[in-house]
Structure 1
């Protein structure tokens, strides 16, 4: 096992380098980088400054320099580090990442670490509630569907969760806002944010209730589409185990159906679900829906990543990519190790296989 873990840790290095190298190479050919944007901004300011200096006597108008001189352009390039060759910038980036220094944002003038930490509360709130509600509802529902396979209950619940899965979260969010957020019908839930403006003045219970009240619409829009996958995975996993020979043997020995289900079937059927918990749990923090965050004015990691890409804020783009990729690789390793914890019969050999 130690050899397997060591090999997996070593394999993370080329994987991480591959992701960063590919992204860095693509970025070199993307137009409209930070230097170009700053040049356009300087041109705009120059035009605005001289545009109103026309002579009132009808003489010629002084337009001033329309472009940016070479010295100023070099200063802009040096400001963003683009005065160095791409290969040198690439190795400088890798050197920072090796020290877990994610760099400084071009436009927000803050470290990437501080930006990520400042956005985490929103992403954690959305992700954690979505994760817990999804699994707390889907697993019991999937077990009930497996036990009642083919019944009317199974058919009705399958139709309901598949309809919910077919509706995009963003569309559902708009619909919820129109109906319950004061759009055209009722104004029951708040439109934006996770807390009210007077949140600091509320009592402890009032703060909790206000926070939960703000979460109702975004969590509903986020969680509804997640039920189908986990529910059907749970149902199919339980059905597969229920039909195996050891279940027939346990029933033949006279064990009660409830005892057969919870003592014998449950552990084996939960294997694919439990091993997916680490990835789902960690991913809940970092995979906040951009559209949901935008719709409900939630300033989380999804919105930060999108704005960074659009503004070509490369330190934030590469810093978050490095951080999320690293977390994803470790989460995958933990998920694989969970197989051994849940089912000791699974062993990883010297070749990394089971």
Structure 2
């Protein structure tokens, strides 16, 4: 192939239909079955179910709108996940071949929530099938080097008890932070959950971790337990200048990604860049404000930017409220979660509302 030429396998054109996608973009192992109604012994509520703190957090419009923008940067602070993305993720492999497009990056972000939703909102069979799929695709995600700049911290394996547990915990903890910082409950401003509900949330999340290869003895059942885990594995979290260095070539992954997307640019990709701008720039400050101070510092966020994020989020609460209104939330739900998740969310919200009428959380 001529240097600088584009492979025939690459389709850089992005139509409106391609941007929105169909069920197949998110669906794995057939159409998901929603968690079942009823409170009897035969009801299959899946992993969490109506009335749970997890569903209260997951079903919030704030979570629907901001989840993808928050989960990905927070999970990448856990170095084994960053290493797995660097070495094995399809966007990394495509970029190294010079075949990555801006749509590929967006598609990866877009599928993030919708693929997980059946495990959060489906019945037990659905949750188990999708978890099995996730375990299968993660089976090969392993390596001897997490960070070439810190070889002493060892290697990683996505399906190991440690790394699979942290993938689930960081995924869920990011949503709790979003809920507490950005979610409006009726006329009430966003606020931290009471301590007993935060502990209950972590205990529910521990049950979610059990559908992956997590070690039961490590699972947290309170915020104190979770904090102890963070302290135990502190060396595996944080910002590193060398985490993006490809062990085989010494190249920087971000540079490789940018070069490939630049080579495969097409005018129609403005649709993608508009969505990426919303996810990575427009939502950046409220997402940073939702993270803990320790997390922001571990990401390398300066004190100045941290102050800007906190102040801008306080001043921007009217806009944050606005993007959670039904018409805008529906846009993000369909665009970022997919058709199956839209149906699952609608069903779960009805069940959760009924459960709260009988046993309010607050």
Could you tell me the TM-score, scaled by structure 1's length?
A: 0.24
Bigger Cα Rg: 1
The higher relative CO (CA closer than 8 Å, separation ≥ 6) is in: 2
Could you tell me the TM-score, scaled by structure 2's length?
A: 0.24
**Which has the larger share of helix?**
1
